[in-house]
Chain A
Amino acid sequence: MRARTVEAARVLDPFLLRALIAAVGVGLVAAPLGCLVVWRRMSYFGGTIAHGGLLGVALGLALGIDLTLGVVLVSVATGAILTGLGRQRLVPSDSLLGILSHAALAGGVVGASLLTGQRLDLMGYLFGDVLAVSGTDLAWLAIGGGVVLAIIAGLWRTLVAVAVHEDLAAAEGLPVARAEAALIVVLALTVAIAMKIVGVLLIISFLVMPAATARPFVSTPEQMVFLAAVVGAVSSVLGLAISMSVDVPGGPAIVLVLSAASLVAIGWTAARRSG
């Protein structure tokens, strides 16, 4: 990867190079978390936390604090509220997600426009602007991504065991509560570092699609993470190439490549099952 980026640097503009590093980086960081999200059936949970990120931008603007910090705080809070409200049984969790997801999105849009008028690049926050990634954003990606991967690696056995059977993991004394909390924090961190690159609406694609693409071809959790990382990185490069050649937004172009890959993989599996 290193040699390739160095070589690419000679032919690419710096902004394109940064876009490439950012998109591939998000793809790599998102792979293990994306697998966990798929295994735990948390894609709407993750999406809601991502929407909380937009509210976090508004909060950051209102309080005059660092926007990334605002995003992390509000995303973690969204996850905690979801967990808390999920303790009741009368309103099912998917309805709860529908409520909070759109509350966060609408709150973020309203808050941001109240605070900044028309100056905020709303499209950028919703769909990302991978070509506008700065050196600071890359530094955030490196630090945040490192923290995310370290937390996941440290709790990997518990995270997988909980995904397979939570009660069994708890009875065996694994730190289930810590792993659950860590998963929310890691999701929030991922939202924070990926928001400028892919946008709050598309982050969940980077999590779910590579993992879904990898699933039919693997037989252990670790193989799935590895293949998801490869799919994420390759799709990022392909998507950016398409974005350059036909002049369309980078994030959505990558998501289209990922969509195609996952639909082909799932379709292939479905056809094989029925045939």
Chain B
Amino acid sequence: MGVGTRSGSVASEIGPAGGVSHARSHHHGHRAHDDGGHHHAPDETRPALIRGRSLTLVRSGRVILDRIDIDIAAGEIVTLIGPNGAGKTSLVRTLLGLERPDAGVVERKPGLVVGYVPQRFDRDAAIPMTVARFLTLAAKVEPERARRVLEEVGAAHVAQRQLAQLSGGELQRVVLARALVREPRLLVLDEPARGVDHLGEADLYALIGRLRDERGLGVLLVSHDLHVVMAQSDRVLCINRHVCCDGVPETVAQHPEYARLFGDAARAFAIYQHHHNHEHDLGGEPLPNEGTHGGGGPRA
């Protein structure tokens, strides 16, 4: 078992030696990989899809990102949390190559296909664009596959509509469809629930979980919603320009840095528990359901 895999048993996670020891703590002036071999398990079990090392971003004399290390492996959902202005979107943009880091490196698995759902998508009615045509901007797609993906995200009915005429929720689904139509190995979603109604939000996170389970996608999620973080993530990276703490949700939730950043909201969710109906083997493949956990242990 280890931080960042879904392979650990419930027992080992909740044991005294489990959780806390895997929450790594970073402070200013410490490089993450200086801390004595506490590397993420994905490094050992399967190679990272994308890896940022010591990423530093300075804009207008301000340090936006301070020596951040991050890995995302296939089949795991990594969630970035942090207060406003913590640099979550900047980190995402740096990983995607949209910002050039002032120091540090981003390594991608060769040939990695990335699907990206940006935080903001400003539509421009000056460009005539049907939803169907929009999907083909990402890749050369057969109409049949485009239709299937739209169905998957629950947007099949808007295929012939103009982008500019969609509601916020419909647009968010269509942008997700564009990310998925490329058949990515890594899905990067920057606050995907913005503009989606509450019901749609549940659907959205269910879909993300399913994509990870069924296709083994790696997912990098930026979220404000601690509830979702605890329920959905395999690993949480809490940043405030530097990495405050990272690990499985439960250990991050107990970390003092996390409590300091999120205050009461953090305490409310620190003991959040959930149900899950299947386990995963070492490769991240879902195992047959062995019965629902009644009270719900922390997610392994």
Which of under 10, 10 to 19, 20 to 34, or 35 or more describes the interface residues of B? 20 to 34
Pick from A169, A172, A220: contact of B128, CB below 8 A.
A220
- The size of the chain A interface, using a CB distance under 8 A, is 23
Using known A-B contacts A157-B137, A168-B118, determine if residue A224 contacts B98 with beta carbons closer than 8 Å.
Answer: no
Beta-carbon contacts under 8 Å, B128-153 to A: 128-130, 133-134, 137-139
Using known A-B contacts A157-B137, A164-B137, A171-B97, determine if residue A221 contacts B121 with beta carbons closer than 8 Å.
Answer: no
Do B116 and A163 have beta carbons less than 8 Å apart? no
Do A164 and B98 have beta carbons less than 8 Å apart? no
Do A39 and B127 have beta carbons less than 8 Å apart? yes
Beta-carbon contacts under 8 Å, A128-163 to B: 157, 160-161, 163
Question: B146 CB to closest chain A CB, in angstroms?
Answer: 14
Pick from B122, B130, B178: contact of A220, CB below 8 A.
B130
| Complex Cα gap A89–B175 (Å) | 30
How many pairs of A and B residues are in contact by the CB < 8 Å rule? 64
Do B126 and A38 have beta carbons less than 8 Å apart? yes
| Complex Cα gap A153–B182 (Å) | 22
Beta-carbon contacts under 8 Å, A206-224 to B: 215, 218-221, 223-224
Using known A-B contacts A172-B114, A172-B116, determine if residue A163 contacts B128 with beta carbons closer than 8 Å.
Answer: no
Query: Is A165 among interface residues, defined by CB-CB distance under 8 A?
Result: yes
Beta-carbon contacts under 8 Å, A178-223 to B: 215, 218-221, 223
Pick from B97, B137, B178: contact of A170, CB below 8 A.
B97
Chain B residues contacting A66 (CB-CB under 8 Å) are none
| Complex Cα gap A171–B128 (Å) | 22
Question: A210 CB to closest chain B CB, in angstroms?
Answer: 14
| Complex Cα gap A127–B118 (Å) | 45
Pick from B96, B98, B128, B139: contact of A221, CB below 8 A.
B128
Using known A-B contacts A171-B96, A171-B116, determine if residue A164 contacts B128 with beta carbons closer than 8 Å.
Answer: no
User: A89's closest neighbor in chain B, by CB?
Assistant: B60
Chain A residues contacting B137 (CB-CB under 8 Å) are 157, 160-161, 164, 169
With a 10 A CB-CB cut-off, give which of A161, A172, A215, A223 has the most chain B CB atoms: A172
Question: 18 A-B contacts, Cβ less than 8 Å apart?
Answer: A38-B126, A39-B124, A161-B137, A163-B124, A164-B137, A164-B163, A165-B121, A167-B98, A168-B178, A171-B114, A172-B114, A172-B116, A172-B139, A172-B182, A220-B129, A220-B130, A221-B127, A223-B128
Closest 9 CB pairs of A and B: A171-B116, A161-B137, A171-B96, A39-B127, A218-B128, A220-B133, A219-B128, A224-B128, A39-B126
Given contacts A164-B137, A171-B114, A219-B130, 10 further A-B contacts (CB under 8 A): A39-B126, A160-B127, A161-B138, A167-B118, A168-B121, A171-B96, A172-B114, A172-B139, A221-B129, A224-B128
